[in-house]
Amino acid sequence: MSQRNTDRTIHARNITYLSFFFLALFSFSSCKTSVAPQTEFVLGTVCTINLYDKGTQAVYAEIFDRLREIEAILSANRDDTNIALINSNAGQTATAAKPETLYVLSAALRYSEKTNGRFDPTIGPLVKLWNIGTEYAAVPSQEDISMRLALINYRNVKIDEKAQTVFLTKPGMKIDLGAIAKGYAADQIAEIIEKYHISRAIVDLGGNILAIGEKKPGVPWKIGIRDPETEKGGSILALDIRNEAVVTSGVYERYFIENGKRYHHILDPATGFPVENGLLSVSIISPKSIDADALSTSVFLLGENAGARFIETLPDTDAIFIDQNRKVYVTSGLMGRIEVLDERFKLSGELN
């Protein structure tokens, strides 16, 4: 790996800044709650759950216990997880897989098929090589990139549902479910919330938003889409949603600057470099958070036109595209649901 660090700054906002700023989350001071919203650092990010007037310490504890359990199974950044064990056995032997691993990995592979490999959970070797979001981030050599690209191919992941195992066929392969795991986790929280008959809640897993129910009867939640150009950007768009997830992938989330050039964390499995297609961010709106999470990366990699065409084939799913010219494009289901809050950004209509 190149050690050039000239003019290099590192930006990782998993902890400090959220991908979304939702406009109404803490605006219910007039509503009494049993327990205040709870925030913990888990899944590598700041997670905030607000159950409003139905929140109890016991329910919050159950939710965060489940998040920690998911992290202990699916994280690619720990050495003691099921994913880490599968990766360590790459090219050697099939590894017993937890039900969560089988479910999320199978979902990831379905999106790999649907996007012809643009979304690929075997991106792990490239993620480790670039180290974006850490103090070790630097531009690798082309030789190192080429070596890692040879390891990336979702077709080399073999799942045996009967034996409940996963086998990576080439030594050095690594699964990284970072582009889908938080979506799965949010859906798991939704199941807990439903179990306790809680009718309205906001789940924020580091900017992956799941809005349950309505703000109040007949009034949708209003979710803000952040400014993708600035480090502490406020909301530039407001979106009305009910019982939907909103997940954004953007160039501002994790990046570093080396020799005056920005390198963001959305890596192209075809080139090995951060994708450059004129997009600043893509937001996906979908009933299931796992789908919104996977699609936000998939569609960013596909680009505006191909991404929009793909989204239009999916039921109850829409997308917002913000490009480097500050133009905002949306898919058909969002027309009339978006308000522009910042006049620098122009709603340029529907993509198809």
- For residue 191, being part of any structural domain is answered with yes
The pLDDT of residue 68: 98
Q: Is the dihedral of CA 94, 162, 288, 67 positive or negative?
A: negative
Residue 146 corresponds to which tokens in the numbers above? Answer: 């080429």
Read off the pTM: 0.90
Are 55 and 202 found together in one domain?
yes
Chain mean position to CA 121 = 13
Residue ranges of the chain whose pLDDT lies below 50:
1-7, 10, 12-33
Instruction: Say which CATH number the domain at 198 has.
Output: 3.10.520.10
- For residue 4, being part of any structural domain is answered with no
- The total of other beta-carbon atoms located within 10 Å of residue 116's CB is 9
**Residue 58 buriedness (CB in 10 A; 0-12 / 13-18 / 19+):** exposed
- For residue 297, being part of any structural domain is answered with yes
Are 95 and 205 found together in one domain?
no
Are 87 and 119 found together in one domain?
yes
- For residue 274, being part of any structural domain is answered with yes
Q: Is the dihedral of CA 60, 63, 69, 75 positive or negative?
A: negative
The pLDDT of residue 336: 84
Are 184 and 55 found together in one domain?
yes
Are 202 and 304 found together in one domain?
yes
**Lateral strand order in the sheet of 235-241:** 221-226, 235-241, 338-340
Residue 202 corresponds to which tokens in the numbers above? Answer: 């906001």
The pLDDT of residue 17: 37
Residue 231 corresponds to which tokens in the numbers above? Answer: 């480090």
Tell me which of 118, 148, 168 is where a domain ends.
168
Residue 303 corresponds to which tokens in the numbers above? Answer: 């680009």
- For residue 105, being part of any structural domain is answered with yes
Are 315 and 197 found together in one domain?
yes
Q: What is the CA radius of gyration of the chain?
A: 20
Chain mean position to CA 261 = 24
- For residue 312, being part of any structural domain is answered with yes
Q: What is the tally of structural domains in the chain?
A: 2
Are 55 and 194 found together in one domain?
yes
The pairing of beta strand 165-168 with beta strand 95-96: antiparallel
Residue in the structure block whose two tokens are 């950007």: 233
Domain that holds residue 104: 79-168
Tell me which of 118, 141, 168 is where a domain ends.
168
Are 123 and 185 found together in one domain?
no
Q: pLDDT tens digit string along 203-255?
A: 999 989 999 999 999 999 999 999 998 867 789 999 999 999 999 999 988 88
Are 17 and 66 found together in one domain?
yes
**Lateral strand order in the sheet of 165-168:** 95-96, 165-168, 157-160
Tell me which of 118, 137, 168 is where a domain ends.
168
- For residue 301, being part of any structural domain is answered with yes
Are 320 and 190 found together in one domain?
yes
Are 127 and 253 found together in one domain?
no
- For residue 175, being part of any structural domain is answered with no
